[in-house]
Structure 1
């Protein structure tokens, strides 16, 4: 995309945030200054701020909050209806099939741990994954880890070869890297898995807030994501996918709600989502996810994509002009990026850079290994890197402040 130029000053035009978020007017102290500055939140990939519309919806639901699924009282019925409607909103938002099961969990990590409990065989994964899509499989003794290659085409070839070696139940892959933001071709990977008789699970934590996602159109069997990256940071996540494995597996948690009838010596378990949602569920978290899904749909993913692409281009161009800053990339042929950029700065540790940005400029970024230690080691940065990430609440002023602050380190 060619940057839009402001003809009066011959510089890229200002890009405004697409939607209001909670905390947009927060301030941060600056070292050596008596006056704080407006905080520039560039850590969306860790936990995105809540959309104000989501916070408003949550406040309304909280005023009528009561027990779910078990009460005959009016507020219990209202709360149960809200919870189940949230399930259907999520189903529609991710383009799920009519017979898919939508299970509410705590977060993406919880969803993948649930998936590890229901998967009846080996799981093929890449070495670029977030720990959430690596450790559950290795701990269960299911993982067959494939080394990513310099190109996506060669990586798919390596996955093809591994799947051809021996039967696997599942291919588990990220949709977008939480380190670099690079997007993988999910429909192509789904076709590859299915040709080898495997299913595919997609970690959509970093894709779903940024791009339109369709389980049915992509051919995905299971999709997982978190509310706290979807502008709904209220402690809930989702697993959506085919019902048979979920119904055949032992309940993820044993307790009320998952059980249909209970005796001292025996129990009959529910099927469907209830089988894996024992205890009182996080109703408000589920309602918040649904509210975020509706808000993002109302904005439109075409607008969201254009907004983020403009910010990514502005950031990439700015970093390229700083010879002491080196961006990280996994592939030579990535299918685009979401609003994430990781980099290192010559002569400084990642923590020193993050402290400079925070203490000197009121900019919040992430430093470290981003729960992706094998990937950082593969990229030659075992000591970590700095990550800037953004979304619908970000404007070009935030990007420009980051670039100016990094220029001071040259």
Structure 2
């Protein structure tokens, strides 16, 4: 180990807002974020005193809960710059959103059509397109990475052809923290007549999102990574695209009329929300959005970026550590240690009260491209402070001592 690294002071300290992390260094926000008390309170209140079904009851409680549920849709639309709330579809998460697009919008694709993804994608942005390929005969192209582990946009643009119908990429990599230039990709995709879908799971908690300015056609994120509850996610799509997409699930709430001979379907977004929705999840997501916007997305990004830079500098002081991703990674730092499996790193750190992720991070093709079976990953959130970098450093030093 070389000279100690000077860690800059944090820009703010929000640990008191998060009851679950007292006495714990939690560095796994890229997997799921901890919940602030205001979100916990919103969920508790919704179940304890306000709960009723939505869109169906004629009694006052149902009407008020319906109003709150649809207000959450409005809040999400404002959060990402959607033109109207009707462009917001509530789902279980981003995985379900990508599958919806693959099964509904993708049902119009034919053999020979192409979809373009990148090497760094999460499995949720790979497998749905493979399932579609197996059903329809479409082809999948994969854009490589640059030497500093960003999507190679020059190579991506070279892969675009008139047969490309969709580009689907991550806004921020869940492994590398690299940020894609979505506006550039949108322009290139549209130039050949393709649509652009963006996996925004890692971007939504730390970047200000404006889907109109980005120029994409689909955007998705999950509530639980944005300090909200699990089981709720968002698909945004342009209104004209949603209106032209067929249903993918059948059931209550997504219909206009049903007979044994024929069913007609409700307009979006109801068309894609069959069954009783995750009502309280939507309310919790709205509370989480209020919370992060109350702090400021730009402020959150600066805070997490400072911590990620400090973590990278600290890890460089260990000769056995190999870092992945660009130096300006967005709150995420992945690394490996010579002769030590990431699971062993994670176990030793856990014994010291430090939680990181160890494994392939649902990105096995990326691990193959990096030449490793797995990595250790430290990912930062609103609640992390400079002392967490110190505890991580102490843990890595212990790993070094144990494994020599």
Same fold (TM over 0.5): yes
CA distance in 1, matches of 2:157, 2:182: 14
Per the alignment, residue 83 of structure 2 pairs with 97
Residues 220-264 of structure 1: CA deviation (Å, up to 9, x unaligned): 211000001000133100001112333333312100101110001
* TM norm structure 2: 0.90
In the alignment, the residues of structure 1 paired with residue 303 and residue 182 of structure 2 have an alpha-carbon distance, to the nearest angstrom, of 22
Could you say which residue in structure 1 is the equivalent of 2:44?
Answer: 59
Q: Which residue of 2 aligns with 1:349?
A: 341
1:13 positional shift: 4.8
Q: Which of residues 328, 351, 368 is equivalent to 1:377? A: 368
In 1, the alpha carbon distance for the partners of 2:8 and 2:251 equals: 56
Q: Residues of 1 paired with 2:143 and 2:84: CA distance?
A: 35
Q: 1:406 aligns with which of 378, 396, 401?
A: 396
- The 8 Å contact of residues 77 and 85 in structure 2, kept in 1 or not, is answered as no
**Equivalent residue number for residue 132 of structure 1:** 124
Q: CA deviation at 1:147?
A: 3.5
Which of 251, 254, 262 is matched with 1:258 structurally?
Answer: 254
Tell me which residue corresponds to 1:4: none
Q: Structure 1 residues 236 and 228, CA, compared in 2 at 3 Å: closer, same or farther?
A: same
Query: Who is 1:238 aligned against?
Result: 234
Change (3 A) 1:100 1:267: closer
- Aligned in 2, Cα 1:67/1:377: closer, same or farther, shift over 3 Å? same
Determine the C-alpha separation between the residues in 2 that align with 1:253 and 1:205.
23
- Does 1:24 pair with 2:21? yes
Structure 1 gaps, min length 5: 1-9, 26-37
- Secondary structure (helix, strand or coil) at the match of 1:23 reads helix
The aligned length equals 383
The alpha-carbon distance between structure 1 residues 100 and 80, as it changes in their structure 2 partners (threshold 3 A), is closer
User: Aligned with 1:409: secondary structure?
Assistant: helix
Matching of residues 360-399 of structure 1 within 5 Å = 361-381=352-372, 383-399=373-389
CA distance in 2, matches of 1:297, 1:194: 31
- In the alignment, what sits opposite 1:298? 294
* Alignment partner, residue 307 of structure 1: 303
Residues 344, 204 of structure 1: CA spacing in aligned structure 2 closer, same or farther, 3 A cutoff? same
Residue matched to 1:33 = none
Mapped contact 2:143–2:151 kept (Cα < 8 A): no
Comparing 121-130 with 194-203, greater Cα deviation is found at 121-130
5+ long unaligned stretches in structure 2: none
Q: SS at the partner of 1:246?
A: helix
Match of residue 323, structure 1, among 306, 309, 319: 319
Of 315, 331, 339, which aligns to 1:339?
331
Q: TM-score, normalising length from structure 1?
A: 0.89
Equivalent residues of 1:137, 1:143 under 8 A apart = no
Q: CA deviation at 1:192?
A: 1.1
**Bigger shift: residues 127-136 or 99-108:** 99-108
Q: 1:99 to 1:108 in 2, by over 3 A?
A: closer
Can you list the C-alpha shifts for 1:136-155, whole angstroms capped at 9, x where unaligned?
Answer: 01110145222313258982
The structure in which a higher percent of residues are helix is 2
Q: Deviations over 1:301-335 (max 9, x none)?
A: 12112211211121011011111111112x6xx8x
